[in-house]
Amino acid sequence: MSNQAKQVAQTRGGIVSFAGTSWPEPYSKPLEELSCPVSLYRAAMLSRQPGRVHELGLILSEHCFDVMMMRRWEPRLTSALTAGLVIADLTHCDTPGQFDEECVMLMPEGVQLPVMYLVNETLMNSASTSMLDKELLVWPARSAQTLMYQIQRSIRVHAASQPEVMPESPSREVYKDLWIDRDKMTVQRRALPVHLTKTEYSLLILLLDSKGAVRTREELMSEIWDTDFLGGSNVVDVHIKSLRKKLGDHAGAPQYIATVRGVGYRLAD
């Protein structure tokens, strides 16, 4: 059995730790303390009988995931699942052969996202070597905490394995793990596309061009909406909140956009 296979088999009862990473850590908190002003990740759950994994969807939602339930994979989901993963329900499979056949039905080859496969405990105990080379997750899980640590591990391992290709054009720039192509008006995060509206993109560019200086709400209103009137409107805050959500940012611990209370916004340190 490979080292990866052993990890998959052993993590059912333990926690895999990863040092030297700045990945958000909602999983380190007790369930009752979690707060999700924005969603950190997205998950596509694939199941022929969604009722079997309904509880898993609730657990993911409580841990800051946006969850989509599908009966089979659709290619358009690749661009929609920025900072996300796929969870395929194969808990009804009783043999490795049945598992392999169902994988072909649910998931095509070459999906550029982390994929976890839900299996029952009986199949896990008799899993073939080829199965153990995949990310397997026993369902029902023994605890929500163990479940979330395994999911966290899968996302981290996938993110660490993605090649970092530096921009080749003068029109492209890098801010932390964001790649911005000004000619194409596109943004990528960890090599995955981030789909922004024109307003969200313009806000991000203004903050980047300010190079850490604070931009007031009035300035943003003037430059984006061509008006000096702010009044009691929260239109700037609404668009910043939407931009943060798409970037996987958190107002309480900002990675990209920091709030300056009573004034406006700036790039995070």
Say yes or no: 252 and 155 in one domain. no
Question: Who wins on pLDDT, 254 or 114?
Answer: 254
Say yes or no: 18 and 133 in one domain. yes
Q: 181: domain range?
A: 172-267
Percent of the chain with pLDDT over 70: 72
Q: How confident is the model at residue 207 (pLDDT cuts 50, 70, 90)?
A: very high
Residue 31's pLDDT is what? 38
Q: Is the pLDDT of residue 218 over 50?
A: yes
Q: Any idea what the Cα angle at residue 106 is, between residues 105 and 108, rounded to 5°?
A: 85
Contact assessment for residue 148 and residue 27, using Cβ atoms and an 8 Å cutoff: yes
Domain termination site, one of 124, 139, 161: 161
Say yes or no: 137 and 181 in one domain. no
Say yes or no: 179 and 234 in one domain. yes
Domain termination site, one of 126, 142, 161: 161
Pick the range with the lowest mean pLDDT from 16-30, 144-158, 207-221: 16-30
Task: Tell me, yes or no, whether 21 lies in a domain.
Answer: yes
Say yes or no: 76 and 102 in one domain. yes
Residue 164's pLDDT is what? 53
Task: Tell me, yes or no, whether 166 lies in a domain.
Answer: no
Average pLDDT, the chain: 76
When pLDDT is averaged across residues 52-78 and rounded to a whole number, the result is 81
**Number of domains the chain is built from:** 2
Say yes or no: 18 and 117 in one domain. yes
pLDDT tens for 127-184 read 888 787 788 888 988 888 888 888 887 777 766 555 555 545 566 788 888 889 888 8
Helix (H, G, I), strand (E, B) or coil at 86: strand
Say yes or no: 60 and 178 in one domain. no
Pick the range with the lowest mean pLDDT from 16-20, 179-183, 235-239: 16-20
Q: How confident is the model at residue 205 (pLDDT cuts 50, 70, 90)?
A: very high
Task: Tell me, yes or no, whether 149 lies in a domain.
Answer: yes
**Which spans in the chain are helix H?**
3-10, 54-62, 77-80, 96-106, 121-125, 129-132, 144-161, 198-210, 217-225, 235-247
Say yes or no: 186 and 120 in one domain. no
